[in-house]
Homo-oligomer: A and B are copies of this chain.
C-alpha cells in the first residue's frame, strides 16, 4: 500500500511544505523513544530553546515549542494574548490569511478584515487609516502573515512596525511566519513583533509536529490577563515547566527534538544569513524562469509587485485555457514532481513552486526542467530549456562555492 505509487528515482518535492528534510536530520530522527523525564531530554530542550530564538532574531523573546501544527501555533498566539471580543486588524490576501481570519472569528475576536486582491500584499494604507483613527486604542492586535503561501506574497513587517510607532499605537503585533522564518529575513526584536510563529515542516526542514512560537515580554505580560479559554495551547503550563526545569508540560516527540537539534546545527553551520541568501537566490532563479517575457516561459507571477515577491514560494498564473490542477497532477504522474496546487480563489489558475528549506541549485533546476516539460504536455507553447537557461544564467553568476569545500 505505502508504495503503490512507486516511481523510480527520487521524488522532487517542491510544495511549499512539508519540505525536503536533510539526510542528516532524517538520520538524527531515526531513533527509539526515550524517557522525557530523564536528565537528558530537559538538557537538550534547554539548549534548543536558546537556539530557536536565534532563528527568530530575538534575544528578549520567550520561545515555546508546542506539539502541534501551524494552525495550532496560530491558536496559541491568539488565545494567549487576547480576550474574546477583542478587536483585531487582520489582512486577507490569500488562502492562509483567510484561514487564520476564520480562526480568529471562530475564537470570538472582533476581526477587522482588510482585504486585498489575491496577489497583492497587505493594504498598509488601510492599516494606517485605522491606526490613525483609533485614538482610543480599541485595536488590541494586528494579525498578519509575513508570507502568504497561497499567492507567494511577502508583507513588509518593518513598515507595519513603523506605522504602529508613528501613531504610538500599543496594539500587539502577531505574525504568522510559517512560510518565512528561517528562510526570509525576519527580525523579531528589531521589528517589535510580539508573537511570531512557525512550523517545523517549513523552512526548518523537519517533519510536521512542532509549532514554534516566540513571545515578546509585552506578549507574555498580555498572556497574564488574556481571557481566551485555553489549556493545551496555554503558555502558562510551559512557563511553569521551564521554572521547574523539566521543560515539558506533556510528552514531546523525542525524535523531533533530536531532529531539531540537527536542523539547527546545519542552519548555523551554513549561517542563517547564508540560508536566507540561498532562498533569495533560488527564488530569483525561479522567477527568471517563469516570467521573463522572451527568454523564458513568459508566465505571470501571481504576486503583482516586485516588492512583495516571496523568496519561499512562487505562485505562477497559467493562461485561461489551462487548468493548473492538470499541471500538478501531470507533474506527479509523469515526472515524480510534487508542485503546489492553486487554492480557493486561485484554484485552477495558479500552480506553485515551493523553494524553501533544505534545497540547492541543481535540485531547483531539475524542478524547473520538469515544469517546462509539464507545461508543454498540457499545451502551453513553452520553449523547452528556456526557463532553465534563464535560471542557470542567474545562478551561474551568484552561487558561491560551498564554504566547507573550498
Binding site for B on A (CB under 8 A): 1-13, 15, 17-24, 26-40, 43-44, 47, 67-72, 74-75, 84, 102-103, 106-108, 199, 201, 207-209, 228-234, 249-256, 258, 261, 266, 269-270, 275, 278, 332-338, 340-341, 358-367, 369-370, 372-373, 376-377, 383-386, 388-390, 392-393, 395-396, 399-402, 404-406
Contact = CB atoms under 8 A, between A and B. Distances in A.
A386 B385 contact: yes
Contact of A31 (B23, B70, B341, B390): B23
Nearest to A12: B362
Given A20-B32, A23-B31, A369-B388, 16 more contacts: A7-B360, A13-B33, A17-B251, A18-B35, A39-B332, A106-B230, A106-B234, A208-B253, A333-B401, A334-B400, A335-B361, A362-B367, A366-B367, A369-B392, A385-B385, A385-B388
A396 B370 contact: no
B208 A252 contact: yes
Nearest to A236: B106
A395 B374 CA distance: 11
A368 to B, nearest CB: 8
Given A231-B107, A389-B384, A33 B10 contact: no
Nearest to A269: B6
A20 B363 CA distance: 15
A6 B266 contact: yes
Contacts of A75: 231-232
A241 B348 CA distance: 19
A402 B270 contact: no
A317 to B, nearest CB: 19
Nearest to A377: B396
A364 B335 CA distance: 11
Nearest to A33: B18
Nearest to A104: B231
B10 A363 contact: yes
Contacts of A234: 106
Nearest to A19: B33
Given A75-B232, A229-B108, A231-B103, A401 B33 contact: no
Contacts of A201: 33, 251, 253
Contact of A8 (B27, B36, B270, B337): B270
Nearest to A296: B385
Contacts of A230: 106
B13 A399 contact: no
B395 A373 contact: yes
Contact of A335 (B39, B333, B360, B373): B360
A107 B102 CA distance: 21
Contacts of A386: 385, 389
17 contacts: A2-B261, A5-B38, A5-B40, A8-B359, A9-B359, A10-B20, A19-B33, A20-B33, A39-B332, A68-B232, A232-B233, A334-B399, A334-B400, A336-B360, A337-B362, A383-B389, A389-B389
